[in-house]
Structure 1
Amino acid sequence: MIKKLLYNLLLSSSIITAQSYAPPADQAGSTAIAKSSSVFIGWATGITVVRGPQDIAVPNSPLATAGTPADGMKGGTSGTGIVSLGDGGSAVLTFDTPISNGSGFDFAVFENGFSDTFLELAFVEVSSDGINFFRFPSHSETQTTTQIGGFGAVDCRYINNLAGKYRANFGTPFDLSDIPDNALLDKNKITHVKIIDVIGTIDPLYASYDSFGNIINEPYSTPFASGGFDLNGIGVINQNTLGNENFTSESVTLYPNPASDIIHLNSKEESSILIYDITGKIVKDLPKSNYGEITISDINSGTYIFEVTLLDKKMVKKIIIN
């Protein structure tokens, strides 16, 4: 009975708190995905950035300046680039080939945290039209009694659905199924991802709140040119060109394979054709017409994915062009 009372007292005083979520990278049960993982099939193709101040609580604080917008988009492939957002700053990344709600995680966000505990966090939102954005439901179980200092520690096991949960070179993954359905969001055609810096202060005047109304406590202040969330890229895991609506049929074929100048389509029906390279970028978009032959002499050698839409169905085939 005494032990139970002591335990309840510890709980009520927040000395004991739950550790509900996945542990750091390289530990059993972690959801971190290494940047070098083969699960990534593409990266963002465009970016716009709105910088926040280095310290939102200081009047006329200078804005964060480290990196360029392009660094935040390309860092995923080069491994070194970042763009710092500052307190409350944001970045919107775009994708020529939309992200889709596939099996498991659909994309991952990279930050450049130098350890498993120095974590600068950000909210993540998605849009299928570039206008209406929907936020992943986030949760922070980190205590809010004492402010975490500028180089203080955050336990990632207290963090869920916030970018920056993992150290540099390990992406925080996101599953589009976590976002509630909405008529204004097509989860199979995500063209925009917005990253919004979490302002780590526990001062209610400036604090950021999770989906449960909890203040999010993280390193603050960071009054440097590199203050705030340091975006290092977004890796795509699922793209809508490989969605469940695809089909194959013996009566509709593309040939020859490999091919050099011309590919034949043995169908008399009108069709539209998209040709993607292996990174998911569209290299040719052919509108609806009767295609008996497809000219490919203007496409560089390599492996491509042909997506043929015919009678409201799709056929996807991998073609080698030499």
Structure 2
Amino acid sequence: MKKIFCILLQMFCLSPYLVAQFDGAVGTDDCKAIHCKDKRIIAWATSCEVIRGYQDIALKDHGLVSYGKEADAIGAANDSDATRVISLGDGGVAVLQFETPIMNHQGYDFVVFENSLNDHFLELAFVEVSSDGIHYVRFPATSNTPTDKQVGGFGSLDPTKINNLAGKYRIGWGTPFDLSEVEGDDKVDVNAIRYVKIIDVVGSIDTLYASHDTQGQIINDPYPTDFASGGFDLAGVGVINNMYTYVADYKSTSFKVYPNPFHDRIQIEGEDNAEVFIYNNVGRCMVQTRKTDESLYLNLQHLSKGMYIIVLQSKKRREYMKITK
């Protein structure tokens, strides 16, 4: 009996590499990858700023990576041209912005694309989000790839051992992220994400340079990649849920707006002591004011014809309504 107990204890204490298996490569059962032409993607990043990383972080005199340009990560990703990317290098960082904020809604909210030419040569990156460009929160990531031996510069990874790291799938297929996984940080509003940060995972298992997942495990991915296009190759970030997809399913319960459609003026009735924002169809705030009474009258003569979204933000809730001029 004691021998059986010891065996069970050893199995329980084994490395986490033998547990937590995740979805696999494109085409396998339950794969979560989203194609770049999926109709759920309604928008793409509109700007990108990159801080390049080293070709080899252990040999800094070899210089920084240089392949691609920031414009290559703006707009739609594709499933055939692996050259339209920007390489980040070891520990390199890309910050992408969006005209209309990403929102936490049902299911996945955005998706990140890399340019791997097959299902197993995977260059990985952490993903973080921010509503103000200052405070970021990172998605909890897991890498159960064994670390007893370094994955070589052109080595292979098993995607079933990877979760919440961008770069998990081949070209044209993105890694999706659900903002509900990072709720709870009072400095990041998951219903108004304007920035997505991509941070290259340094794949070295040398503790001097290694990257770690949420559990503190070293992340073993292809290393070294000592050339101009080394590290994570960013192809694009697509938006699945933003203010407009959310409002399409949303019914306000605490305020009314009329007339709707309107000509020059509107009246807002409902909860008092609330901030009022009116956004145009690309997410730009056109009006910002405060509602202090049950009724608020607004002169909107200056607005062009089109669709707008009113947002009422109080201490208790945030409410939305679509209006048309």
Whether TM-score is above 0.5 comes out as: yes
Question: Cα RMSD (Å) of the superposition?
Answer: 3.4
Partner secondary structure for residue 280 of structure 2? strand
Q: Which amino acid aligns with 1:267?
A: Q
- Offset at 1:238? 1.1
Unaligned stretches of 5+ residues in structure 2? 270-274, 290-296
Aligned equivalent of 1:76: 77
Partner secondary structure for residue 18 of structure 2? coil
CA distance change for structure 1 residues 19 and 114 in 2, over 3 Å: closer, same or farther?
farther
1:33 aligned onto 2:34: yes
Q: Any idea what the Cα deviations from partners look like across 1:32-65, whole Å, max 9, x if unmatched?
A: 0001011111111221100001111114122111
Rounded to whole Å, the distance in 2 between the matches of 1:152 and 1:8 is 33
Counterpart selection for 2:236 from 220, 233, 236: 233
- Offset at 1:15? 12
Q: Which amino acid aligns with 1:66?
A: Y
Rounded to whole Å, the distance in 1 between the matches of 2:17 and 2:196 is 36
- Offset at 1:310? 6.9
Q: Which amino acid aligns with 2:175?
A: T
Q: Which amino acid aligns with 1:89?
A: G
Contact 1:51 / 1:86 at 8 angstroms: preserved in 2?
yes
Counterpart selection for 2:278 from 273, 277, 298: 273
Aligned equivalent of 2:309: 307
Aligned equivalent of 2:216: 213
Q: Any idea what the Cα deviations from partners look like across 1:189-210, whole Å, max 9, x if unmatched?
A: 1111111000111111111110
- Offset at 1:139? 0.6
Rounded to whole Å, the distance in 2 between the matches of 1:75 and 1:310 is 32
- Offset at 1:10? 8.5
- Offset at 1:28? 1.7
CA distance change for structure 1 residues 152 and 78 in 2, over 3 Å: closer, same or farther?
closer
CA distance change for structure 1 residues 7 and 264 in 2, over 3 Å: closer, same or farther?
same
Contact 1:148 / 1:220 at 8 angstroms: preserved in 2?
yes
Moved more, 183-192 or 83-92: 183-192
Q: Any idea what the Cα deviations from partners look like across 1:66-94, whole Å, max 9, x if unmatched?
A: 11011122353797421100001001111
Partner secondary structure for residue 236 of structure 2? strand
Counterpart selection for 1:158 from 133, 157, 161: 161
1:1-322 equivalences under 5 Å are: 17-18=18-19, 20-76=21-77, 80=81, 81-241=84-244, 242-243=246-247, 247=252, 252-255=258-261, 263=263, 267=267, 273-276=278-281, 281-282=282-283, 285-288=286-289, 290-291=298-299, 293=301, 295-296=303-304, 305-309=307-311, 313-317=319-323
Moved more, 173-182 or 11-20: 11-20
Rounded to whole Å, the distance in 1 between the matches of 2:208 and 2:276 is 57
CA distance change for structure 1 residues 8 and 316 in 2, over 3 Å: closer, same or farther?
same
- Offset at 1:133? 1.1
- What's the % identity of the aligned pairs? 42
Rounded to whole Å, the distance in 2 between the matches of 1:16 and 1:131 is 35
Rounded to whole Å, the distance in 2 between the matches of 1:54 and 1:62 is 6
Q: Any idea what the Cα deviations from partners look like across 1:131-177, whole Å, max 9, x if unmatched?
A: 11111111111000111111111011000111111111111011111
Contact 1:67 / 1:84 at 8 angstroms: preserved in 2?
yes
Rounded to whole Å, the distance in 2 between the matches of 1:12 and 1:250 is 58
CA distance change for structure 1 residues 62 and 160 in 2, over 3 Å: closer, same or farther?
same
Contact 2:101 / 2:283 at 8 angstroms: preserved in 1?
no
